[in-house]
Structure 1
Amino acid sequence: MDLHYEIKGSGKPIILLHSGAMDSRDWEFITPHLSKSFKVITLDVRGAGKSPVPNEPIDYVEDLRKLLDHLKIKKGALVGHSLGGQIATDFTLTYPKGVSQLVLVAPGLSGFKFSSEHAELESRVSKAAPDVEKMINITLNEPSWSVSFGKAYDLLREMMIHNIQKTFDWKTFKTASSNSAMERLGKIKTKTLFIIGENDSEDLFKIAQLYTEIPNINFVRIPGANHIITLTHPKEVSDHISHFLSLLEW
Protein backbone atom coordinates (compact mmCIF):
# COMPACT_ATOMS: atom_id res chain seq x y z
CA MET A 1 0.00 0.00 0.00
CA ASP A 2 1.65 3.22 -1.16
CA LEU A 3 -0.91 5.61 0.36
CA HIS A 4 -0.30 7.14 3.78
CA TYR A 5 -2.80 6.25 6.48
CA GLU A 6 -3.04 6.20 10.27
CA ILE A 7 -5.16 4.13 12.65
CA LYS A 8 -6.32 5.24 16.09
CA GLY A 9 -8.69 3.61 18.56
CA SER A 10 -10.39 0.24 18.38
CA GLY A 11 -13.80 -1.17 17.59
CA LYS A 12 -15.91 -0.92 14.46
CA PRO A 13 -13.93 0.64 11.57
CA ILE A 14 -14.56 4.17 10.31
CA ILE A 15 -12.66 5.52 7.31
CA LEU A 16 -12.32 9.31 7.17
CA LEU A 17 -11.84 10.91 3.74
CA HIS A 18 -10.66 14.52 3.58
CA SER A 19 -11.55 17.56 1.50
CA GLY A 20 -9.69 18.78 -1.56
CA ALA A 21 -6.73 21.14 -0.89
CA MET A 22 -6.45 19.39 2.48
CA ASP A 23 -5.20 16.04 3.76
CA SER A 24 -5.95 13.71 6.66
CA ARG A 25 -5.34 16.59 9.09
CA ASP A 26 -8.81 17.73 8.01
CA TRP A 27 -9.92 15.36 10.82
CA GLU A 28 -7.32 16.36 13.41
CA PHE A 29 -9.88 17.87 15.80
CA ILE A 30 -12.44 15.09 15.21
CA THR A 31 -10.36 11.90 15.40
CA PRO A 32 -9.76 12.22 19.17
CA HIS A 33 -13.53 12.15 19.77
CA LEU A 34 -14.35 9.28 17.40
CA SER A 35 -11.38 7.10 18.38
CA LYS A 36 -12.80 6.75 21.90
CA SER A 37 -15.50 4.46 20.50
CA PHE A 38 -14.34 3.34 17.05
CA LYS A 39 -11.32 2.21 15.06
CA VAL A 40 -10.61 5.34 13.03
CA ILE A 41 -8.61 5.19 9.80
CA THR A 42 -7.51 8.51 8.30
CA LEU A 43 -6.14 8.50 4.76
CA ASP A 44 -4.18 10.92 2.59
CA VAL A 45 -5.67 10.42 -0.86
CA ARG A 46 -3.29 10.19 -3.80
CA GLY A 47 -1.60 13.53 -4.41
CA ALA A 48 -2.27 14.88 -0.90
CA GLY A 49 -0.50 14.89 2.44
CA LYS A 50 2.18 12.22 2.70
CA SER A 51 0.80 10.10 -0.15
CA PRO A 52 2.60 10.05 -3.52
CA VAL A 53 1.71 12.34 -6.41
CA PRO A 54 -0.26 10.77 -9.28
CA ASN A 55 1.68 9.47 -12.26
CA GLU A 56 -1.49 8.35 -14.06
CA PRO A 57 -5.20 9.23 -13.81
CA ILE A 58 -6.32 8.97 -10.19
CA ASP A 59 -8.88 6.31 -9.32
CA TYR A 60 -9.99 7.34 -5.84
CA VAL A 61 -12.49 4.49 -5.53
CA GLU A 62 -10.00 1.77 -6.40
CA ASP A 63 -7.36 3.36 -4.16
CA LEU A 64 -9.84 3.13 -1.28
CA ARG A 65 -10.74 -0.45 -2.13
CA LYS A 66 -7.06 -1.42 -2.12
CA LEU A 67 -6.60 0.22 1.29
CA LEU A 68 -9.55 -1.68 2.76
CA ASP A 69 -8.24 -4.92 1.28
CA HIS A 70 -4.80 -4.16 2.72
CA LEU A 71 -6.33 -3.61 6.17
CA LYS A 72 -8.58 -6.67 5.76
CA ILE A 73 -11.69 -4.55 6.33
CA LYS A 74 -14.65 -6.16 4.61
CA LYS A 75 -17.18 -3.62 5.81
CA GLY A 76 -16.89 -0.24 7.46
CA ALA A 77 -18.45 3.19 7.80
CA LEU A 78 -17.32 5.85 5.33
CA VAL A 79 -17.15 9.48 6.44
CA GLY A 80 -16.25 12.00 3.75
CA HIS A 81 -15.85 15.78 3.71
CA SER A 82 -16.25 17.68 0.41
CA LEU A 83 -14.12 15.75 -2.13
CA GLY A 84 -14.00 12.95 0.43
CA GLY A 85 -17.80 12.85 0.45
CA GLN A 86 -17.83 12.52 -3.32
CA ILE A 87 -15.35 9.63 -3.08
CA ALA A 88 -17.42 7.98 -0.35
CA THR A 89 -20.56 8.25 -2.48
CA ASP A 90 -18.86 6.84 -5.57
CA PHE A 91 -17.41 3.99 -3.52
CA THR A 92 -20.81 3.17 -1.99
CA LEU A 93 -22.36 2.93 -5.46
CA THR A 94 -19.50 0.72 -6.68
CA TYR A 95 -19.07 -1.50 -3.61
CA PRO A 96 -22.33 -1.23 -1.62
CA LYS A 97 -21.67 -4.38 0.42
CA GLY A 98 -18.47 -2.84 1.79
CA VAL A 99 -20.18 0.15 3.41
CA SER A 100 -22.07 -0.23 6.69
CA GLN A 101 -23.01 3.46 7.02
CA LEU A 102 -22.35 6.59 4.99
CA VAL A 103 -21.67 10.01 6.52
CA LEU A 104 -21.38 12.97 4.16
CA VAL A 105 -20.03 16.28 5.43
CA ALA A 106 -20.67 19.06 2.88
CA PRO A 107 -19.91 16.54 0.12
CA GLY A 108 -19.14 16.95 -3.54
CA LEU A 109 -21.06 14.94 -6.11
CA SER A 110 -19.68 13.48 -9.34
CA GLY A 111 -21.65 14.74 -12.33
CA PHE A 112 -22.73 17.98 -10.64
CA LYS A 113 -22.06 21.14 -12.64
CA PHE A 114 -20.94 23.95 -10.38
CA SER A 115 -22.12 27.52 -10.88
CA SER A 116 -20.40 30.13 -13.04
CA GLU A 117 -19.43 31.93 -9.83
CA HIS A 118 -17.58 28.84 -8.61
CA ALA A 119 -15.88 28.44 -12.00
CA GLU A 120 -14.80 32.09 -11.89
CA LEU A 121 -13.29 31.59 -8.43
CA GLU A 122 -11.37 28.52 -9.60
CA SER A 123 -10.12 30.50 -12.61
CA ARG A 124 -8.82 33.35 -10.42
CA VAL A 125 -7.07 30.86 -8.13
CA SER A 126 -5.52 29.05 -11.08
CA LYS A 127 -4.29 32.29 -12.68
CA ALA A 128 -2.55 33.23 -9.41
CA ALA A 129 -0.28 30.16 -9.66
CA PRO A 130 2.53 29.63 -8.76
CA ASP A 131 2.04 32.28 -6.05
CA VAL A 132 0.74 29.92 -3.35
CA GLU A 133 0.01 32.68 -0.82
CA LYS A 134 -2.09 34.57 -3.36
CA MET A 135 -3.93 31.37 -4.34
CA ILE A 136 -4.79 30.71 -0.70
CA ASN A 137 -5.84 34.28 0.05
CA ILE A 138 -8.24 34.30 -2.92
CA THR A 139 -9.80 31.06 -1.68
CA LEU A 140 -10.08 32.15 1.95
CA ASN A 141 -11.78 35.40 0.92
CA GLU A 142 -14.67 33.28 -0.32
CA PRO A 143 -17.30 33.38 2.51
CA SER A 144 -17.90 29.63 2.50
CA TRP A 145 -14.14 29.07 3.06
CA SER A 146 -13.36 31.96 5.41
CA VAL A 147 -12.08 31.00 8.84
CA SER A 148 -11.40 33.23 11.85
CA PHE A 149 -7.83 33.39 13.11
CA GLY A 150 -6.90 30.63 15.54
CA LYS A 151 -6.01 26.93 15.48
CA ALA A 152 -8.48 26.13 12.68
CA TYR A 153 -7.12 28.97 10.50
CA ASP A 154 -3.48 28.02 11.11
CA LEU A 155 -4.09 24.34 10.34
CA LEU A 156 -6.10 25.13 7.20
CA ARG A 157 -3.37 27.40 5.83
CA GLU A 158 -0.69 24.83 6.68
CA MET A 159 -2.57 22.11 4.80
CA MET A 160 -3.32 24.33 1.82
CA ILE A 161 0.30 25.49 1.47
CA HIS A 162 1.55 21.90 1.56
CA ASN A 163 -1.05 20.46 -0.81
CA ILE A 164 -1.09 23.29 -3.36
CA GLN A 165 2.69 23.16 -3.58
CA LYS A 166 2.43 19.39 -3.98
CA THR A 167 0.18 19.76 -7.03
CA PHE A 168 3.05 21.44 -8.90
CA ASP A 169 4.71 17.98 -8.96
CA TRP A 170 1.65 16.08 -10.17
CA LYS A 171 2.26 14.29 -13.49
CA THR A 172 -1.45 14.40 -14.38
CA PHE A 173 -4.65 16.01 -13.09
CA LYS A 174 -6.92 13.51 -14.79
CA THR A 175 -9.14 11.14 -12.84
CA ALA A 176 -10.23 7.69 -13.90
CA SER A 177 -13.52 7.83 -15.77
CA SER A 178 -16.53 6.62 -13.82
CA ASN A 179 -20.27 6.89 -14.08
CA SER A 180 -21.77 10.06 -12.64
CA ALA A 181 -23.25 9.49 -9.20
CA MET A 182 -25.77 12.31 -9.60
CA GLU A 183 -28.26 10.22 -11.57
CA ARG A 184 -27.82 7.12 -9.38
CA LEU A 185 -28.23 8.38 -5.82
CA GLY A 186 -31.59 6.62 -5.50
CA LYS A 187 -29.76 3.30 -5.77
CA ILE A 188 -27.94 3.86 -2.47
CA LYS A 189 -29.62 1.73 0.19
CA THR A 190 -27.01 2.41 2.86
CA LYS A 191 -28.26 4.48 5.79
CA THR A 192 -26.80 7.94 5.34
CA LEU A 193 -26.19 11.07 7.40
CA PHE A 194 -25.70 14.41 5.60
CA ILE A 195 -24.11 17.26 7.58
CA ILE A 196 -23.84 20.80 6.24
CA GLY A 197 -23.07 24.22 7.71
CA GLU A 198 -25.79 26.83 7.38
CA ASN A 199 -23.28 29.24 5.79
CA ASP A 200 -22.01 26.92 3.06
CA SER A 201 -22.28 27.94 -0.60
CA GLU A 202 -25.41 27.86 -2.76
CA ASP A 203 -23.82 25.11 -4.83
CA LEU A 204 -23.51 22.87 -1.76
CA PHE A 205 -27.17 23.39 -0.89
CA LYS A 206 -28.10 22.44 -4.45
CA ILE A 207 -26.02 19.29 -3.98
CA ALA A 208 -27.78 18.66 -0.67
CA GLN A 209 -31.13 18.78 -2.46
CA LEU A 210 -29.93 16.17 -4.96
CA TYR A 211 -28.90 13.85 -2.14
CA THR A 212 -32.53 13.70 -0.99
CA GLU A 213 -32.84 10.95 -3.63
CA ILE A 214 -31.16 8.56 -1.16
CA PRO A 215 -34.07 6.76 0.55
CA ASN A 216 -32.48 6.35 4.01
CA ILE A 217 -30.90 9.75 4.57
CA ASN A 218 -31.01 12.19 7.49
CA PHE A 219 -29.95 15.82 7.22
CA VAL A 220 -28.29 17.97 9.87
CA ARG A 221 -27.59 21.69 9.47
CA ILE A 222 -25.05 23.20 11.88
CA PRO A 223 -25.57 26.89 12.79
CA GLY A 224 -22.71 29.29 12.17
CA ALA A 225 -20.66 26.81 10.13
CA ASN A 226 -19.45 27.06 6.54
CA HIS A 227 -17.57 24.60 4.29
CA ILE A 228 -14.65 24.29 6.73
CA ILE A 229 -17.00 22.74 9.26
CA THR A 230 -14.60 19.93 10.29
CA LEU A 231 -12.09 22.46 11.61
CA THR A 232 -14.43 25.11 13.02
CA HIS A 233 -17.13 22.89 14.57
CA PRO A 234 -15.42 19.55 15.37
CA LYS A 235 -17.39 18.84 18.54
CA GLU A 236 -20.77 19.21 16.83
CA VAL A 237 -19.67 17.15 13.82
CA SER A 238 -18.19 14.43 16.05
CA ASP A 239 -21.31 14.23 18.21
CA HIS A 240 -23.61 13.86 15.21
CA ILE A 241 -21.40 11.18 13.65
CA SER A 242 -21.07 9.24 16.91
CA HIS A 243 -24.80 9.38 17.60
CA PHE A 244 -25.69 8.30 14.08
CA LEU A 245 -23.28 5.36 14.05
CA SER A 246 -24.27 4.20 17.53
CA LEU A 247 -27.92 3.83 16.51
CA LEU A 248 -27.35 1.41 13.64
CA GLU A 249 -26.47 -2.23 13.19
CA TRP A 250 -23.09 -2.92 11.58
Structure 2
Amino acid sequence: MDLYYEVNGNGQPVVLLTGGADVRNWTFVAPLLAKHYKVVAFDGRGTGKSPSPLEDVNQVEDLLLLLDHLGINQATLIGHSMGGQIATEFALNYPERVSKLILLAPGLSGFTYSKEFEENIKRIHEAAPDINKMVDLLLGDPSYRVLTMSPHRDLMVQMLRHHMGRMFEWPAVKLIWPQPPAIERLGELSAKTLLIIGKEDSPDNLRVANYFRKHSNAQITEIPGADHMINLTHPEKLYHQITDFMKE
Protein backbone atom coordinates (compact mmCIF):
# COMPACT_ATOMS: atom_id res chain seq x y z
CA MET A 1 0.00 0.00 0.00
CA ASP A 2 1.67 3.22 -1.18
CA LEU A 3 -0.94 5.66 0.17
CA TYR A 4 -0.08 7.56 3.35
CA TYR A 5 -2.44 6.76 6.22
CA GLU A 6 -2.76 7.19 9.97
CA VAL A 7 -4.58 4.88 12.39
CA ASN A 8 -5.59 5.97 15.90
CA GLY A 9 -7.86 4.53 18.58
CA ASN A 10 -9.57 1.19 18.94
CA GLY A 11 -13.01 -0.22 18.25
CA GLN A 12 -15.32 -0.11 15.28
CA PRO A 13 -13.42 1.08 12.18
CA VAL A 14 -14.14 4.59 10.89
CA VAL A 15 -12.47 5.80 7.69
CA LEU A 16 -12.14 9.54 7.00
CA LEU A 17 -12.09 10.67 3.36
CA THR A 18 -11.27 14.10 2.03
CA GLY A 19 -10.93 15.67 -1.41
CA GLY A 20 -8.81 18.74 -2.05
CA ALA A 21 -6.78 18.56 1.14
CA ASP A 22 -4.96 15.99 3.29
CA VAL A 23 -5.20 14.34 6.70
CA ARG A 24 -4.95 17.78 8.34
CA ASN A 25 -8.56 18.21 7.24
CA TRP A 26 -9.41 16.03 10.27
CA THR A 27 -7.10 17.76 12.77
CA PHE A 28 -9.91 18.49 15.23
CA VAL A 29 -12.39 15.69 14.46
CA ALA A 30 -10.12 12.60 14.34
CA PRO A 31 -8.86 12.84 17.97
CA LEU A 32 -12.43 13.11 19.23
CA LEU A 33 -13.57 10.06 17.27
CA ALA A 34 -10.46 8.09 18.30
CA LYS A 35 -11.75 8.10 21.88
CA HIS A 36 -14.33 5.51 20.85
CA TYR A 37 -13.40 4.15 17.41
CA LYS A 38 -10.50 2.92 15.31
CA VAL A 39 -10.00 5.95 13.09
CA VAL A 40 -8.24 5.72 9.75
CA ALA A 41 -7.35 8.95 7.94
CA PHE A 42 -5.42 8.91 4.67
CA ASP A 43 -4.13 11.11 1.88
CA GLY A 44 -5.65 10.37 -1.51
CA ARG A 45 -3.33 9.70 -4.41
CA GLY A 46 -1.46 12.87 -5.36
CA THR A 47 -2.37 14.68 -2.12
CA GLY A 48 -0.62 15.20 1.20
CA LYS A 49 2.12 12.62 1.71
CA SER A 50 0.81 10.10 -0.82
CA PRO A 51 2.63 9.65 -4.14
CA SER A 52 1.63 11.43 -7.32
CA PRO A 53 -0.41 9.30 -9.73
CA LEU A 54 1.32 7.56 -12.62
CA GLU A 55 -1.93 6.74 -14.41
CA ASP A 56 -5.62 7.64 -14.27
CA VAL A 57 -6.87 7.73 -10.68
CA ASN A 58 -9.71 5.55 -9.39
CA GLN A 59 -10.24 6.71 -5.82
CA VAL A 60 -12.99 4.18 -5.16
CA GLU A 61 -10.62 1.31 -5.96
CA ASP A 62 -7.85 2.99 -3.93
CA LEU A 63 -10.17 2.96 -0.91
CA LEU A 64 -10.91 -0.73 -1.45
CA LEU A 65 -7.17 -1.48 -1.58
CA LEU A 66 -6.62 0.45 1.66
CA LEU A 67 -9.37 -1.42 3.50
CA ASP A 68 -8.00 -4.75 2.27
CA HIS A 69 -4.46 -3.76 3.29
CA LEU A 70 -5.64 -2.89 6.80
CA GLY A 71 -7.76 -6.03 7.08
CA ILE A 72 -10.97 -4.02 7.53
CA ASN A 73 -13.93 -6.00 6.27
CA GLN A 74 -16.52 -3.31 7.02
CA ALA A 75 -16.26 0.31 8.16
CA THR A 76 -18.21 3.49 8.67
CA LEU A 77 -17.18 5.98 6.00
CA ILE A 78 -17.07 9.69 6.80
CA GLY A 79 -16.48 11.73 3.67
CA HIS A 80 -16.11 15.50 3.39
CA SER A 81 -16.64 17.43 0.13
CA MET A 82 -15.19 15.33 -2.70
CA GLY A 83 -14.41 12.76 -0.03
CA GLY A 84 -18.17 12.49 0.39
CA GLN A 85 -18.49 11.84 -3.34
CA ILE A 86 -15.90 9.05 -3.07
CA ALA A 87 -17.67 7.58 -0.03
CA THR A 88 -21.05 7.62 -1.82
CA GLU A 89 -19.62 5.89 -4.89
CA PHE A 90 -17.91 3.30 -2.70
CA ALA A 91 -21.12 2.59 -0.76
CA LEU A 92 -23.02 2.08 -4.03
CA ASN A 93 -20.40 -0.23 -5.53
CA TYR A 94 -19.27 -2.12 -2.41
CA PRO A 95 -22.30 -1.96 -0.06
CA GLU A 96 -21.15 -5.01 1.91
CA ARG A 97 -18.03 -3.10 3.02
CA VAL A 98 -19.93 -0.12 4.50
CA SER A 99 -21.64 -0.27 7.89
CA LYS A 100 -22.78 3.36 7.92
CA LEU A 101 -22.27 6.34 5.63
CA ILE A 102 -21.72 9.88 6.91
CA LEU A 103 -21.41 12.66 4.35
CA LEU A 104 -20.23 16.20 5.16
CA ALA A 105 -21.22 18.68 2.45
CA PRO A 106 -20.57 16.01 -0.19
CA GLY A 107 -19.98 16.29 -3.89
CA LEU A 108 -22.15 14.14 -6.16
CA SER A 109 -21.11 12.67 -9.50
CA GLY A 110 -23.47 13.57 -12.31
CA PHE A 111 -24.79 16.67 -10.52
CA THR A 112 -25.12 19.80 -12.67
CA TYR A 113 -23.40 22.65 -10.87
CA SER A 114 -24.39 26.27 -11.44
CA LYS A 115 -22.88 28.62 -14.00
CA GLU A 116 -21.49 30.71 -11.12
CA PHE A 117 -19.71 27.66 -9.68
CA GLU A 118 -18.20 26.73 -13.05
CA GLU A 119 -17.04 30.30 -13.69
CA ASN A 120 -15.37 30.45 -10.29
CA ILE A 121 -13.51 27.19 -10.94
CA LYS A 122 -12.42 28.57 -14.33
CA ARG A 123 -11.04 31.75 -12.70
CA ILE A 124 -9.06 29.65 -10.23
CA HIS A 125 -7.58 27.51 -13.01
CA GLU A 126 -6.71 30.60 -15.06
CA ALA A 127 -4.76 32.00 -12.10
CA ALA A 128 -2.31 29.08 -12.26
CA PRO A 129 0.57 28.82 -11.55
CA ASP A 130 0.13 31.66 -9.01
CA ILE A 131 -0.80 29.51 -6.01
CA ASN A 132 -1.41 32.46 -3.68
CA LYS A 133 -3.88 33.99 -6.13
CA MET A 134 -5.58 30.61 -6.62
CA VAL A 135 -6.01 30.21 -2.86
CA ASP A 136 -7.35 33.76 -2.48
CA LEU A 137 -9.89 33.18 -5.25
CA LEU A 138 -11.03 29.89 -3.72
CA LEU A 139 -11.40 31.32 -0.22
CA GLY A 140 -13.27 34.29 -1.68
CA ASP A 141 -16.15 31.94 -2.44
CA PRO A 142 -19.13 32.49 -0.08
CA SER A 143 -18.96 28.84 1.01
CA TYR A 144 -15.83 29.73 3.03
CA ARG A 145 -17.05 32.96 4.65
CA VAL A 146 -17.33 31.43 8.15
CA LEU A 147 -13.93 29.74 7.90
CA THR A 148 -12.14 32.89 6.72
CA MET A 149 -13.34 34.75 9.83
CA SER A 150 -12.20 31.93 12.13
CA PRO A 151 -8.81 31.11 13.73
CA HIS A 152 -8.52 28.16 11.33
CA ARG A 153 -8.08 30.16 8.13
CA ASP A 154 -4.29 29.76 8.27
CA LEU A 155 -4.56 25.96 8.46
CA MET A 156 -6.85 25.95 5.43
CA VAL A 157 -4.44 28.18 3.50
CA GLN A 158 -1.55 25.83 4.32
CA MET A 159 -3.53 22.81 3.10
CA LEU A 160 -4.66 24.52 -0.09
CA ARG A 161 -1.18 25.79 -0.96
CA HIS A 162 0.25 22.31 -0.44
CA HIS A 163 -2.55 20.65 -2.40
CA MET A 164 -2.31 23.00 -5.37
CA GLY A 165 1.47 22.65 -5.42
CA ARG A 166 1.07 18.86 -5.50
CA MET A 167 -1.41 19.09 -8.38
CA PHE A 168 1.24 20.81 -10.53
CA GLU A 169 3.34 17.64 -10.09
CA TRP A 170 0.64 15.42 -11.60
CA PRO A 171 1.09 14.05 -15.11
CA ALA A 172 -1.86 14.34 -17.51
CA VAL A 173 -4.23 11.92 -15.74
CA LYS A 174 -7.98 11.77 -15.22
CA LEU A 175 -10.16 10.88 -12.27
CA ILE A 176 -12.15 7.74 -13.02
CA TRP A 177 -15.65 7.44 -11.52
CA PRO A 178 -17.93 4.38 -11.66
CA GLN A 179 -20.74 4.43 -14.20
CA PRO A 180 -23.58 5.20 -14.17
CA PRO A 181 -22.99 8.28 -11.96
CA ALA A 182 -24.16 8.24 -8.36
CA ILE A 183 -26.87 10.83 -9.01
CA GLU A 184 -28.76 8.13 -10.94
CA ARG A 185 -28.36 5.53 -8.18
CA LEU A 186 -29.02 7.30 -4.87
CA GLY A 187 -32.13 5.20 -4.33
CA GLU A 188 -29.86 2.14 -4.22
CA LEU A 189 -27.94 3.30 -1.14
CA SER A 190 -28.41 0.51 1.40
CA ALA A 191 -26.13 1.80 4.17
CA LYS A 192 -27.82 3.94 6.78
CA THR A 193 -26.79 7.45 5.74
CA LEU A 194 -26.39 10.78 7.51
CA LEU A 195 -25.68 13.96 5.53
CA ILE A 196 -24.48 16.98 7.50
CA ILE A 197 -24.17 20.42 5.93
CA GLY A 198 -23.61 23.94 7.20
CA LYS A 199 -26.46 26.34 6.55
CA GLU A 200 -23.91 28.89 5.30
CA ASP A 201 -22.53 26.56 2.62
CA SER A 202 -22.85 27.45 -1.08
CA PRO A 203 -26.22 27.23 -2.89
CA ASP A 204 -24.80 24.42 -5.04
CA ASN A 205 -23.80 22.29 -2.05
CA LEU A 206 -27.16 22.95 -0.41
CA ARG A 207 -28.83 21.79 -3.63
CA VAL A 208 -26.80 18.58 -3.48
CA ALA A 209 -28.02 18.02 0.08
CA ASN A 210 -31.57 18.63 -1.05
CA TYR A 211 -31.11 16.10 -3.86
CA PHE A 212 -30.11 13.49 -1.30
CA ARG A 213 -33.16 14.48 0.75
CA LYS A 214 -35.49 13.85 -2.19
CA HIS A 215 -33.86 10.81 -3.78
CA SER A 216 -32.41 8.74 -0.93
CA ASN A 217 -33.22 7.68 2.60
CA ALA A 218 -30.43 9.85 4.00
CA GLN A 219 -31.04 11.70 7.23
CA ILE A 220 -30.20 15.39 6.61
CA THR A 221 -28.86 17.64 9.38
CA GLU A 222 -28.12 21.35 8.88
CA ILE A 223 -25.72 23.15 11.22
CA PRO A 224 -26.48 26.87 11.74
CA GLY A 225 -23.51 29.22 11.47
CA ALA A 226 -21.34 26.70 9.61
CA ASP A 227 -20.07 26.79 6.03
CA HIS A 228 -18.31 24.20 3.85
CA MET A 229 -15.51 23.65 6.38
CA ILE A 230 -17.71 22.54 9.25
CA ASN A 231 -15.03 20.00 10.19
CA LEU A 232 -12.61 22.83 11.08
CA THR A 233 -14.98 25.39 12.59
CA HIS A 234 -17.51 23.16 14.41
CA PRO A 235 -15.67 19.93 15.33
CA GLU A 236 -17.40 19.37 18.68
CA LYS A 237 -20.87 19.79 17.21
CA LEU A 238 -19.90 17.53 14.32
CA TYR A 239 -18.49 14.94 16.71
CA HIS A 240 -21.73 14.78 18.68
CA GLN A 241 -23.82 14.48 15.50
CA ILE A 242 -21.60 11.64 14.27
CA THR A 243 -21.46 9.70 17.53
CA ASP A 244 -25.21 10.01 18.11
CA PHE A 245 -25.79 8.59 14.63
CA MET A 246 -23.23 5.82 15.18
CA LYS A 247 -25.00 4.74 18.38
CA GLU A 248 -28.42 4.48 16.73
Report the alpha carbon displacement of residue 228 of structure 1 after superposing the two structures with TM.
1.1
**What is the CA distance between 1:86 and its match in structure 2?**
0.1
Return 5+ residue gaps in structure 2 as ranges. none
Q: 1:214 aligns with which of 208, 213, 216?
A: 216
Secondary structure (helix, strand or coil) at the match of 1:113 reads: coil
> 2:18 matched to which residue of 1?
18
SS of the equivalent of 1:231 reads helix
Aligned to 1:58: 57
Partner in structure 1 of residue 186 of structure 2: 185
Structure 2 match to 1:35: 34
Residue 4 of structure 2: aligned partner: 4
Superposed counterparts of 1:147-186, under 5 Å: 147-179=147-179, 180-186=181-187
1:156: Cα distance to partner?
0.4
| RMSD over aligned Cα atoms | 1.0
Distance in 2 between residues matched to 1:66 and 1:237, nearest whole Å: 28
Deviation at 1:172, TM superposition (A): 2.6
CA distance in 1, matches of 2:129, 2:152: 24
TM-score, length basis structure 1: 0.95
Deviations, residues 7-54 of structure 1 (Å, cap 9, x unaligned): 01000000000132x111111110111000000000101111001111
CA deviation map 1:122-142 (0-9, x unaligned): 111011111000000011111
Q: Distance in 2 between matches of 1:242 and 1:177?
A: 30
Percent same amino acid among aligned pairs? 45
Residue by residue over 1:185-237, the C-alpha shift from the partner in whole angstroms, topping out at 9 and shown as x without a partner, is 0001110000000011111111112112222x211100101111111111111
Q: Is the 8 A contact 1:54 1:172 kept in 2?
A: no
- Report the counterpart of residue 127 of structure 1 in structure 2: 126
Q: After TM superposition, what 4+ stretches of structure 1 lie above 3 angstroms from structure 2? A: 148-151
Give the distance between the partners of 1:234 and 1:141, measured in 2 at CA.
22
Calculate the TM-score normalised by the size of structure 2.
0.96
Residue by residue, what CA displacement relative to the aligned partner does 1:62-115 show, whole Å, maximum 9, x if unpaired?
000000000000001000000000000000001000000000000000111211
Contact 1:189-1:214 at 8 Å conserved across structures: no
| CA distance 1:238–1:173, change in 2 (3 Å) | farther
Is residue 2:195 matched to residue 1:194?
yes
Which stretches in structure 1 are left out of the alignment for 5+ residues? none
8 Å CA contact 2:19, 2:44 repeated in 1: no
Give the Cα–Cα distance (whole angstroms) in 2 for the partners of residues 209 and 172 of structure 1: 34
Q: Number of matched residues?
A: 245
Question: Corresponding residue for 1:67?
Answer: 66
- For 1:19 and 1:58, how far apart are their aligned partners in 2? 13
Q: Offset of 1:177 from its aligned partner?
A: 4.3
Tell me, in whole angstroms, the C-alpha distance in 1 between the residues paired with 2:173 and 2:123: 18
> In structure 2, what is the Cα distance between the partners aligned to 1:178 and 1:106?
20
